[in-house]
Amino acid sequence: TLSDQPRAVAQRIGQFTRCFLEAVVVVVLVALWLMDGRSALVVAAAIPLTVALTLAGMHVLGVPLHQISIASLILALGMLVDDPVVASDGINRELAHGRPRGVAAWLGPFKLRRAILFATVINIAAFLPLAGLPGDKGAFILALPVVVTLALAASRLVSMTFIPLLGYHLLRGQKSWEEDAELRSFPLFRPVDRALAALLPRYRRWLEQSLERPGRTLLVAYGLLAASFGLVPFFGQQFFPPAERNQLLVDIDLPESASIVQTREVCRQVMRVLAEQPEVASAAVFSGGTAPRVYYNLNPREPGGFLGQVLVNTWQARDVPALLPRLRARLDREIAGARCVVRQLEQGPPVETPIQIRLSGTDPDTLRGLADRVAAVLREAGAYHVHDDLGRRMPVLLLDIDQERANALGISNAQIGQLAQSAFHGLPVTELRDGDHLIPVVIRLRVEDRNEADKIATLYVRSQRDELVPLNHIATVRLQPEYATLARFNQWRAVTVKAYARSGELASRVVARARAPLQDLPLPPGYRLEFAGEEKELRQSRAEMAVVMAVSLGLITLALVAQFNSVLKAVVVLLTVPLGLVGAFVGLTVFQAPLGFMALLGMVSLAGVVVSHIIVLNDFIEEARAQGLELKTALVQAGLVRLRAVLVTVLATVGGVVPLAISGGELWRPLTAVHI
């Protein structure tokens, strides 16, 4: 089997389904840890109903189950329990204050209806603009904002309908921590309650001290934010990580003048090396081209006799990282005259080569010299298999036609071109049928008749007088060295120097070492040097994410102004959004995750998580102020009242993504690091 895609998909979906079930268990345990058993049961009962409504919405919108959609459900778990937690907490408070059961089940969520609604809207506003990302990145990640939006909308519906029903029958009232909540009787939870009871006075004192000296508190908070930016230089940068599949590729490139026979010989040498590796289960060889699209971002190259590719299947996906450097060293040592690059399949939108430096200008020879100097810098920086797409000059056969003599003999340029084509490429004359296939029959000169320019000059062209005229009577045949291929970029002649990173190293590290020498490279007037490859994709992703972030913040601002009826309050809340970057940068550092597309995605989505908690907290503050409490007292009381719901939601969000961080693979590690 060349590539068993159904098996790979089934394994991946099974892995993410396990992550989802583990995340549900973690969320339920968090609820049991911080809430009484009945409240935790209400929250736990809301999860399957919310997930069922989300799956129904996915079916209506045509969103299939795959790793992105399932991982989106896992990410949404912590957020979708927020509404049920807040609603059940409100019912418990009303019951604890002596309200009748029927009144409490209605009044608890009703008092918080506006806060819950706007918290949901703000979370949706943080994620939904991601659906507008352009190109392959937007198509790759589209399921995430759609699924999260569906999950949050379903959670809102459940919290205002199903939760009051369950609360009426199950809840018995639970005091908030500012009212000296009772210790639970279950032995496993009593130590937790005692520890929290001991910490609450310290938390109250910390809040009071912070409010007494707000300037110092703000200085510390934003000082930590400024200090966290000092961690950025230590991050690696990676557009998308390699795919964790039991497959790898061996790209084989020979000089363009090489024949298919030489390419097949190199492929046989590669296969002999692969046969000696115990991790290799099977391999498929493609001579004269590359493999078909057996993976979603694998783009086949144009066929050519100098190209080859081997698709290698290993027994297990975990065999690939150890096999790759060993194969690279062996092939580099044993195969001469060909470039053999062993690489893993990639995630996300395709990037041909991770390290690319593009030079553009007018003169090919000048570009050739600059490309050689850039290649030397990349080699010095530790790049692997440095090459470019310009190549070296090759002998090209030129025909200088004497137009006057040709016209006098009645010989057209088309006839001379047809002669040259028949000599080298051949002319199709008929077709043979072999079953369902048509095989073209092509005539051309023998190799020994076309391997020298002088022999080509002796060919004959038939004139209009039906005379055979030697080609050298009407044209001069000569050889001239020319570049076989000459690419263009923005209408300029261009050459791209390409390279890979060595095993175990990020391409961004190589580029970082080469950046200063490359920027100091003197360029003639009219010539440009620019970074392409992963560097360009990351730069473009940051720009696109900035637009998405601006749209998200704009929608969040509108929602805040509608909620507070105050622009000033909305601005104050928005000033807390950058503080989430402190945790994001620390998370990336602790997890040693690269700063790439998925990390940027996590940072953009943090805005809604941060603001949604403040929305409900503000509702409690306004309620306390309406009862005549001073502002500082109201702030402290709101912090204590909302503390349980915040802790449950935050710990559920963190605990829910832990299984994804552990076993979800390298694709999700940066995003989960940011959220944790």
Of residues 364 and 604, more confidence is placed in 364
pLDDT at residue 202 is higher than 80? yes
pLDDT for 297: 78
Q: What is the pLDDT of residue 48?
A: 87
Q: Dump the DSSP string for 20-81.
A: HHHHHHHHHHHHHHHS-HHHHHHHHHHHHHHHHHHHHHHHHHT---SHHHHHHHHHHHHHHT
pLDDT of residue 88: 84
Residue 1 domain flag? no
| pLDDT higher than 60, residue 307 | yes
Judged on CB neighbours under 10 Å (0-12, 13-18, 19+), 520 is: exposed
Is 417 a domain residue? Answer: yes
Mean pLDDT of 53-75: 87
Here the tokens at position 611 are 């603001």
Residues 84 and 216 in one domain: yes
* CA torsion angle 616 620 626 630 (round to 10): -120
Token couple for 62: 């045509």
Which CATH number characterizes residue 109's domain? Answer: 1.20.1640.10
Task: Flag whether 284 is in a domain.
Answer: yes
Q: Which pLDDT score, from 0 to 100, does residue 514 have? A: 93
Average pLDDT, the chain: 84
- 350-366 pLDDT, tens per residue? 888 899 999 999 988 89
How many folded domains does the chain comprise?
3
Residue-level pLDDT at 179: 56
- Determine the pLDDT at residue 411: 82
Cβ neighbours for 574, distance < 8 A, ≥ 6 positions apart:
553, 556, 557, 560, 611
386: tokens are 């440095």
- Best-predicted range by mean pLDDT among 227-241, 445-459, 534-548? 534-548
Range of the domain at 477: 396-481
**Residues 78 and 149 occupy one common structural domain:** yes
Q: Are 52 and 160 part of one and the same domain? A: yes
Q: What is the pLDDT of residue 311?
A: 92
Assess whether 91 and 222 both reside in one domain.
yes
| pLDDT value of residue 518 | 93
Give a yes or no: residue 31 inside a domain: yes
List, in order, residues 6 or more apart from 77 with CB less than 8 Å away: 23, 24, 27, 47, 652, 653, 656
Average pLDDT over residues 583-598: 86
Instruction: For residue 369, give every residue at least 6 positions away whose Cβ sits within 8 Å of its Cβ, in sequence order, or none.
Output: none
pLDDT of residue 324: 92
User: Does residue 2 belong to any structural domain of this protein?
Assistant: no
For residue 184, tell me if it sits in a domain: no
532 shares its domain with 542? no
Interacting residues of 326 by C-beta distance below 8 A, sequence separation 6+: 277
Question: Which of 91, 37, 80 has the alpha carbon at shortest distance from 55?
Answer: 80
Query: What is the per-residue pLDDT across 549-590, written as a single tens digit (0 to 9) for each?
Result: 889 889 888 988 888 888 888 888 888 888 888 888 888 888
Instruction: Give the β-pairing of 475-483 and 393-401.
Output: antiparallel
Q: 455: pLDDT confidence band, cut at 50, 70 and 90?
A: confident
pLDDT recorded at residue 402: 82
Residue 607 has pLDDT above 90, yes or no: no
Q: Choose between 632 and 275: higher pLDDT.
A: 275
Instruction: Please check whether residues 47 and 142 belong to one and the same domain.
Output: yes
Question: Could you tell me if 287 and 214 lie in one domain?
Answer: no
Please tell me whether residues 383 and 475 are part of one structural domain: no
Q: Is the pLDDT of residue 499 over 90?
A: yes
Which tokens go with 651? 């710990």
Q: Are residues 231 and 274 in the same domain?
A: no
Judge whether residue 75 has pLDDT over 60.
yes
Q: Report the pLDDT value the prediction gives residue 498, as an integer from 0 to 100.
A: 93
For 439-466, letters b (16+ CB in 10 Å) and e give eeeeeeeeeeebeeeeebbebebebeee
Q: Looking at residue 142, what DSSP letter applies? A: T
CA distance 506 to 200: 45
Please provide the DSSP assignment of 324-382 as one string.
HHHHHHHHHHH--SSEEEEEE-B-SS--S-SEEEEEEES-HHHHHHHHHHHHHHHHHTT
- Mind listing the pLDDT tens digit for each residue in 357-416? 999 999 888 998 999 999 999 999 999 999 988 877 777 777 788 888 888 888 888 888
Residue 343 sits in a domain of what CATH number?
Answer: 3.30.70.1430
Distances (CA, A) of 482 to 51, 54, 479, 613: 64, 61, 9, 67
* Domain presence at residue 36: yes
Q: Which of 459, 481, 503 is the last residue of a domain?
A: 481
pLDDT, position 207: 83
Highest mean pLDDT among 8-22, 352-366, 585-599: 352-366
Lowest mean pLDDT among 15-19, 375-379, 541-545: 15-19
Low-confidence winner among 54-63, 89-98, 244-253 (lowest mean pLDDT) = 89-98
In angstroms, the CA 319 to CA 213 distance is 57
Q: Which of 144-148, 545-549, 651-655 has the lowest mean pLDDT?
A: 651-655
pTM: 0.78
Residues 374 and 272 in one domain: yes
Q: Please name which of 204, 184, 213 lies closest in space to residue 638, comparing C-alpha atoms.
A: 204
CATH for 450: 3.30.2090.10
149 and 108, same domain (yes or no): yes
What is the band of 201 on the pLDDT scale with cuts at 50, 70, 90? Answer: confident
Distance CA 329, CA 326 (A): 5
Residue 378: the pLDDT is 94
Quick one: pLDDT at residue 436?
A: 80
Cα dihedral 610, 615, 621, 627, rounded to 10, equals -170
Domain membership flag for residue 370: yes
Q: Which residue has the higher pLDDT, 559 or 193?
A: 559
Looking at the structure, do residues 195 and 264 belong to the same domain, yes or no? no
CA angle, 511 as apex, 508 and 514 as ends, to 5°?
155
Q: For 484, which DSSP code? A: S
pLDDT number for residue 31 = 79
C-alpha span between 641 and 624 (Å, rounded): 11
The percent of residues in the chain predicted with pLDDT above 90, rounded, is 17
Q: Helix (H, G, I), strand (E, B), or coil: what is residue 254?
A: coil
pLDDT score, position 487? 84
Nearest Cα neighbor of 45 from 72, 81, 73 is 81
Find, among 116, 45, 43, the residue nearest to 85 by Cα: 43
